[in-house]
A and B are shown apart, each in its own frame.
Chain A
Amino acid sequence: SQQGEEDPQALSIQEGENATMNCSYKTSINNLQWYRQNSGRGLVHLILIRSNEREKHSGRLRVTLDTSKKSSSLLITASRAADTASYFCATDANSGTYKYIFGTGTRLKVLA
């Protein structure tokens, strides 16, 4: 399968705690993106990190990228109940085909 892998598959934390989820991928990439999906809805783009970047921040989100290990992590700080959703990484394969390869997702539940 070309799909990336994410871990953990599911994560349950208390409000105010930090949530970390990881993504591994298989091919060389131009960039890696993280998306959020609320139950039964479409995906929403959160943040993009390019292959020549190592870390990026956006509000409460922090993304790291290690191209030597073909892995990325998404950290959500000071989580809120509204952060409850599934989170997916997507890689933009360095192939010129404009195809994304999505990970299997992490289901995050933030308990109030």
Chain B
Amino acid sequence: DGGITQSPKYLFRKEGQNVTLSCEQNLNHDTMYWYRQDPGQGLRLIYYSQIVNDFQKGDIAEGYSVSREKKESFPLTVTSAQKNPTAFYLCASRGFGRAEAFFGQGTRLTVV
């Protein structure tokens, strides 16, 4: 089945640690996105990428980093510089010339 897969579903991070969230899609989509969602809130854009080896900062990129070495994969690293990382993280993708986004099931990150 075609889709977008995020892993892990739950992730716990200790203070000062970097953690990486995985996002893989087999939809052959060019554009991929990372969003952060806080409880009862909308989605805020962290980073997006329209092509391999290129990505753009979103509205809240500080404390996060990404890479796009393969079309199918867009991992997000939450660095120790992100002071309030506890949130629900959503990855999405979009096909060329298409308007609708396809979302993964999310990763819930908690700082312990």
Contacts and interface: CB of A to CB of B under 8 A. Distances in A.
Interface of A: 2-4, 30-31, 33, 35, 40-45, 48, 88, 90, 92, 97-100, 102-105, 107
A44 B42 contact: no
B103 A44 contact: yes
Contacts, number: 59
30 contacts: A3-B44, A31-B99, A33-B99, A33-B100, A33-B101, A40-B106, A41-B105, A42-B90, A42-B92, A42-B104, A42-B105, A42-B106, A43-B43, A43-B90, A43-B103, A44-B103, A45-B101, A90-B101, A92-B99, A97-B56, A98-B48, A98-B50, A98-B94, A100-B33, A100-B101, A102-B42, A103-B42, A104-B41, A104-B42, A105-B40
B108 interface: yes
A74 B94 CA distance: 23
Nearest to A4: B42
B58 to A, nearest CB: 7
Contact residues on B (Cβ < 8 Å of other chain), bracket: 20 to 34
A45 B41 contact: no
A88 to B, nearest CB: 6
